[in-house]
Structure 1
């Protein structure tokens, strides 16, 4: 009888050891996977590149008729200085850029940002901006400004739209929500986020 007990105990001990080894191997594999996984460059309406953090505050279509008020009466809007070409609308994107580091960083808004649309793989550079001549952003400082993009409204209708941000070899895609074809601004600072990044 004692011999029978001994014969049953050995296989169970072997199974326990085998299970423990398998669990340890699986755990190590999971730890390695988490350790080597890298987050994507873009998350919603915010992104960080080369020490600078950018947030999209608002985006929407500019009311061109409102822009034309006070200009030469009777003149076609597309002939007025600063107006988009005929058939184009104008998208306005308000961004805030923060330098939370202890170093001064170069920042060139007109060169770093572009508006992208998944439909047709379109890309537009800013037609204008309000950042002006701001080649550098000092430590612990932030700046907010507007980026303007001109394009036919149909080219960004019913498609994913994002703000492409490139600097120092890195890139991020900040999602942009647009509605309608003129007037009004979509608030990105709170509530539901819109179209995803690319």
Structure 2
């Protein structure tokens, strides 16, 4: 009886002591080493030279703050000169138009005065060749009025002097054209400065 009781306990202890050992074996991959070539660092000048097909062997100087300031100041001066150049071109056109207008006005006034004087002289001649009567008196009065109007217009023209005004506009056009050519030469040849801008503004 005692042996019968011991057998199951031994079998249970042996079944409990059994362990399952399972493992999955994965083949090891070979160690692969990749070598990445380092790209040399280039600045903007070297990169542009290489893209254009030129290799610059001399080292490119680094831009500092002073160079940036000088570049910005020179570009600012150039911008101011271009703005002044546009204003001068507008002045040239304006003075040319005003001079042409005053010249036409002077020509119109002179032609009008000449026609008035010619008409008054014709009326006076017709009145002198005729006899006595109301029509001849009307011609004489009309010629007198026309002579008076021509005299008044001549006095006004001598006071205003439209020919002199037209000459002033022609001189202004000539001077502004000279200034325009000077600014264009200044922009084309050298690097303008702020003193050049002040000088041009004084001339304008």
Q: Please give the TM-score of this superposition, normalised by the length of structure 2.
A: 0.28
Larger Rg: 2
Hey, which of these two has a bigger chunk of strand by percent?
Answer: 1
Q: Please give the TM-score of this superposition, normalised by the length of structure 1.
A: 0.29
